[in-house]
Structure 1
């Protein structure tokens, strides 16, 4: 059974593993770019508009997390929280761009937390409940409420015009591995505050909020997939653009693109992915470089009922190298003018080695 997962690397290992191993991690050359090589354009029958009923626990899977992020429209500040039930029950989070400008300060430390919990309550309800707090869906309010206890003390509602994203399932076509996902809150306006050690109390009222949930029998560290592309952009009309999927072994992209508007949500379960305008960014830990796309475009597959395209442009990527995976670390990207969001561009060590030999 896997011992960790992708978003664990992104959210928790970014603080606990990357920083702990910074001095020991050797610099290494990387290929100039790691694009996908093809696209799976098969319409995915599991894809649909997300509902809270999709957001329940899945006991027995290798990997499962509930994820929330909050982004300040007036600065670069963002907080990411993940509640894991597998492979290890834990709550982790990180406050990036805490001063509104610099993503991470190794000298001053990064406000973050990571604590084990005793396991999710298997009650069949949307969200997740643990001994350290909960992410609940309030039926009467029609909104999610994130409430975590000391020492992090988070009390935030995603109740300002929450709009749904997509739900679906991806087959990795490798050793029976698969991943399910749902994004019941593609975008919203948040209300509340959080407190973290080293950050004081931060009011997030008026920030934009997002929530997704991933589960399944998969783990990125086993190199069963070449990589991952995930992005959300909060747009000025109250809507959002979502991108999510995996690059299978051999470079085949499989993923969805979702257009979220106050008037409704459109989901394309298959898409054509184009990553371009590559730039080498230094790893913030030890000086090696990882090439990241300045532009990521996804277009609905030819057999989809909707036809649209979304392009994500880099704002300020931060690169981290954990050896077995290299990634942009919740990197700020945007779509239309006035938008703001984040993108994860992740590639496995095996995929990077193979790309360097092409």
Structure 2
């Protein structure tokens, strides 16, 4: 999917986990990339290897404020995506999803360019249908501790489709399911990073509830491929489209696989399941497969091994010992990192 060298692509949230991989892939495909981030959850280190690239530009900016730039496409990925981060400042999380969407849609309207919204499987809430297809309207608690993210993303989807109906803006909406891989933050509270960090340090692996709740994990390279295919699809393909891996696994099975791949002696311990944590989450990706020719290709065992290698390099000090995580990231300091993520 090569880009014209003249194409300038804006990626909001571009120094985050997904955003940094997207910037990297866009550059490899010939685009000029403007990476915008306020560094609340993203880090400069995620894009440091791109800073000297002649087609890459990094701009510190919060999308809750208008942005005046000239670009040819917009990927709107800006928003903290793990509960430990988005619950830290829930009002700001909602503002980022809603006001950020309004500002980016306003920019797309002015420039008459295509814009993609990184939505989420969290719009389905604690689903009563399984697996979840795009026709399912969800089962979301509008006033719970996760609502800032769930309802913020639902409202952003509404705005995208209203801007299309009212102003004719070409939009794309991707509902992203659990994604993992290198550059996940070790303190983001997500289950994959939690399990890997605990296993590498030889700590007990914490499972919330009975461990039979299930998720489906997509490796980051596959997810980025899906986003780019969606962006480059015909204008009538608006979405929302589910992007994720339909292979389902229980938290207990994931913990056991992590212990096996790390060679850890960690034990599994259980803690109470928090409020509104979904019991099941699995995407129906038949629409993405039909419209984009897309399906994830990386087996969980292979992707998890790559992710473990990344964390080994991040956590190992010069003496070969696993060090404590330090961070200059404001979202990773002073937070309760026991909150489980979907």
The structure with the greater share of residues assigned to strand is 1
The structure with the greater share of residues assigned to helix is 2
Give the TM-score normalised by structure 2: 0.25
Give the TM-score normalised by structure 1: 0.25
